Amino acid sequence: MSCFCRHICSLSNLLFLLIALGTAYLVYLKIHKPAPAKQVHEDKIIFAFLGAPGSGKGTLAKQVVQELGYKQLSTGDLCRDNIKRETDLGKKLQEYTSKGALVPDDVISSMAKEWLDVNTKDGKNIILDGYPRTANQAELLLNMIKTFYPDYKLRVVSLNISDDAVVERLCGRLMCSNKDCGAIYNIKQFVDIEHPVCATCGSPLIKREDDKEEVIRERLKIYTQTSQAVIDAFKKAGFAVEEITIEDKNPKEVFEAFKKMIA
């Protein structure tokens, strides 16, 4: 017995005993640890896409809607739709556009809010395409999110592309002459064909009047000025502007870059 006691009391055996007990306790914890509560509340995000005409912003938005199930707010589409349906708002919009005047920021903002009220209900992520377009609209949007959609976070994504790359893209752009189709192609796809036709509906393809270099460069100049004001407004409010470099990426590569960004 005294021999056994000496064994147990020796320092090394005591240490061994402690380690064994500790290990057993850890194993017990591992087995009995309650499963972590499932995260019910995922982040809901409103993405504001900024990108020059010809940057492929609309194409990316469409892909994200189709593949990831986001919703897309396009103020341009909303304007056209309201005018077509001759709603009260549509009549107001028609007045401004027929005078060649810009639609005031508060009119755009209330139109966006009306859309967001309906479309934030199911908690899906949202893309803002072509909105906000001015610093004032950006500020109104930030207040709107804070007040009415506090579950949503805003992420600002800028699609960066050089003017030269845009010119090259848009100068080669061909559009389906069938207005109901509106498919867009690039002249590079038809180098050997004299009279290219639409692969979807068979109508002849045409070049848009405003897809001329000087018109495009003027549009880009205006875009750069206005978008910088929007970017400054977001930065001032403490938002980082995330960037995707477009340059010669094709739509698939741009989509991949977006997915990587949100992963």
Judged by the rule CB under 5 A, the positions of this chain that interact with Zn ion are: 176, 178, 181, 183, 198, 200-201, 203
Q: Which is nearer to Zn ion, 146 or 208 (CB)?
A: 208
Q: Which is nearer to Zn ion, 70 or 185 (CB)?
A: 185
Terminal-to-terminal C-alpha distance of the chain: 65
Q: Minimal distance in Å, beta carbon 200 to Zn ion? A: 4
Q: Minimal distance in Å, beta carbon 182 to Zn ion? A: 7
Q: Minimal distance in Å, beta carbon 226 to Zn ion? A: 32
Q: Which is nearer to Zn ion, 183 or 237 (CB)?
A: 183
Buried b (16+ CB within 10 A) or exposed e, 194-220: eebebeeeebebeeeeebeeeebeebb
Strand partners, 206: 175
Q: Which is nearer to Zn ion, 160 or 203 (CB)?
A: 203
Q: Minimal distance in Å, beta carbon 184 to Zn ion? A: 10
Q: Minimal distance in Å, beta carbon 202 to Zn ion? A: 7
In this structure, are residues 178 and 203 in contact, taking their beta carbons and an 8 Å threshold? yes
Nearest alpha carbon to residue 238 among 158, 160, 156, 132? 156
Q: Which is nearer to Zn ion, 46 or 198 (CB)?
A: 198
Q: Minimal distance in Å, beta carbon 58 to Zn ion? A: 17
Q: Which is nearer to Zn ion, 97 or 203 (CB)?
A: 203
Q: Which is nearer to Zn ion, 89 or 176 (CB)?
A: 176
Q: Which is nearer to Zn ion, 88 or 180 (CB)?
A: 180
Edge-to-edge order in the sheet of strand 184-186: 184-186, 173-176, 205-206
The pairs formed by 93-102 with CB atoms below 8 angstroms and a separation of 24 or more are none
How many other CB atoms are found less than 10 A from the CB of residue 48?
A: 23
Distance CA 227, CA 61 (A): 18
In this structure, are residues 4 and 13 in contact, taking their beta carbons and an 8 Å threshold? no
Question: Which DSSP symbol is given to 187?
Answer: G
Q: Minimal distance in Å, beta carbon 83 to Zn ion? A: 24
Distance CA 79, CA 60 (A): 21
Q: Minimal distance in Å, beta carbon 197 to Zn ion? A: 8
In this structure, are residues 53 and 210 in contact, taking their beta carbons and an 8 Å threshold? no
Residue the block writes with tokens 């970017």: 231
